Amino acid sequence: MNPSLAAENLSMFGTDPWWLVVVKAVFCFAFLMVTVLFSIVWERKVVAWMQLRIGPNRHGPWGMLQSLADGIKLMLKEDVVVKRADKIVYILAPVVAAIPAFMAIAVIPFGPAGNEVSVFGHRTAMQLTDLPIAMLFILAVASVGIYGIVLAGWSSGSTYPLLGGLRSCAQMISYEIAMGAAFASVFLYSGSMSTSAIVEQQHDRWYILLLPVSFILYIVTMVGETNRAPFDMPESEGDLVGGFNTEYSSIKFAMFMLAEYVNMVTVSAVATTLFLGGWRAPWPVSTFWEGANHGWWPLLWFVIKVQLLLFFFIWLRGTLPRVRYDQLMKLGWKVLIPVSVVWLMLVATVRTLRNEHYDFADIALYVGGGVLALLVLSFVADLFREKGEKGREAEGSAAQPPGFD
């Protein structure tokens, strides 16, 4: 397959019969639901092992049906609606939060873009659809989910949910800018916003090796986007009781939990697509096995990579404490955004020089000189800032009136 299968040629999509489209849509939904059910049990098991506990072990073999039991329990609980709530918005908020979480998976490739698998005798791509601006579609639907959280906080008629919703909104704005810059560096390298084309461009080298800073930026921002520990400020129990979903119970609370875990799966799938080669087999396997990237095998490699990233979420929750809200905002605005913008400029410079057929030594010289100049400017700015702070402290201490004897 030509790596330039790009957004300009997506002719393999839109030709499936309607029933095959329905089958693929049901598969995407089932993939998310099964992964969520497994991830909840896995999270509880892993955290229990970290804390030297046993974890769930009653429902099903090794406690694997614990998620199903929890879902049944939540559905059977009383559905309480507080009197001061705006009932229509209060009921719709969980739906608004849950539906966008399922939409992004539609453009994620589970296998090669060519018609490589047979479903009931029809050759089809292992992807529901693709778009020339598929990554922008993912950013757009990811942003819609925040409305559900904000509306849940506002419509509950309570102080704590409102504060949790506002925190989540501020957090989303702060971290989505850096996430978009990380996406943009991938666009510059691949030359396309199509997910299938981005995976095809990683046929010889994954972007985690070419764009390590973008990968680190995305990993940090995806934790902030999903409101997971240590960035779970919108639902911190210590100061907000339960955050934006304090007043929710029964199936509505379950929908918020479902949206959170589906978002975890989605951002992990996006990270796999952009930086980890997507459905491609890992390096040792692909070197000695030619069929590793054909047939149904790509689905296995994709699932393994997604599960490793989900384990990363669990590992963070089990090891790191929750950060303060001011630290969260400082990290987003003073670290992630400046670093992402500077890195994007460097990537754009490298791509421009490569397109102009400059030698690698010249590119390294120009980019290294720019980085060195930025470091020198940053060092000089820190010196002046520190000098100014010391001067203000000295003036403040001199202006204080003498104390009484």
Give domain limits for the chain. Answer: 18-346
Q: Is residue 46 over pLDDT 90?
A: yes
Tens digit of each residue's pLDDT (9 = 90 or more) over 179-213: 999 999 999 989 899 999 999 999 888 999 999 99
Q: Is residue 105 over pLDDT 60?
A: yes
State the average pLDDT over residues 35-52: 93
**How many CB atoms within 10 Å of residue 279?**
26
Predicted pLDDT at 353: 81
Q: Is residue 362 over pLDDT 70?
A: no
Predicted pLDDT at 273: 96
Predicted pLDDT at 3: 44
CA 273 to chain centre: 12
Handedness of CA 241, 245, 249, 255 (dihedral sign): negative
Predicted pLDDT at 360: 63
Q: pLDDT: is 372 or 280 the higher one?
A: 280
| Half-sphere exposure at residue 40, Cβ-oriented, CA atoms within 13 angstroms | 21
**Can you tell me the distance from the alpha carbon of 141 to that of 104, in angstroms, rounded to the nearest whole number?**
7
DSSP-derived secondary structure for 326-387:
HHHHHIIIIIIHHHHHHHHHHHHHHHHHHHTT--HHHHHHHHHHHHHHHHHHHHHHHHHHHH
Q: Is residue 84 over pLDDT 70?
A: yes
Predicted pLDDT at 12: 62
**Can you tell me the distance from the alpha carbon of 171 to that of 250, in angstroms, rounded to the nearest whole number?**
27
State the average pLDDT over residues 30-44: 94
**E-assigned strand segments in 202-348:** none
- Smallest CA-to-CA distance from 224 within 263, 273, 195 is with 263
**Can you tell me the distance from the alpha carbon of 197 to that of 212, in angstroms, rounded to the nearest whole number?**
20
State the average pLDDT over residues 275-292: 85
Tens digit of each residue's pLDDT (9 = 90 or more) over 371-391: 677 777 777 777 777 777 777
Predicted pLDDT at 310: 96
Q: Is residue 403 over pLDDT 60?
A: no
Predicted pLDDT at 287: 76
CA 322 to chain centre: 18
Q: Is residue 399 over pLDDT 70?
A: no
Predicted pLDDT at 135: 92
Tens digit of each residue's pLDDT (9 = 90 or more) over 2-35: 444 444 456 566 778 889 999 999 999 999 999 9
Q: What is the largest CA-CA distance in the chain?
A: 96
Tens digit of each residue's pLDDT (9 = 90 or more) over 213-242: 999 999 999 999 898 888 887 777 667 667
State the average pLDDT over residues 37-60: 91
Q: pLDDT: is 296 or 243 the higher one?
A: 296
**Can you tell me the distance from the alpha carbon of 189 to that of 352, in angstroms, rounded to the nearest whole number?**
10
Q: Is residue 76 over pLDDT 80?
A: yes
Tens digit of each residue's pLDDT (9 = 90 or more) over 302-348: 999 999 999 999 999 989 888 888 898 999 998 999 999 989 988 88
**Can you tell me the distance from the alpha carbon of 95 to that of 89, in angstroms, rounded to the nearest whole number?**
10
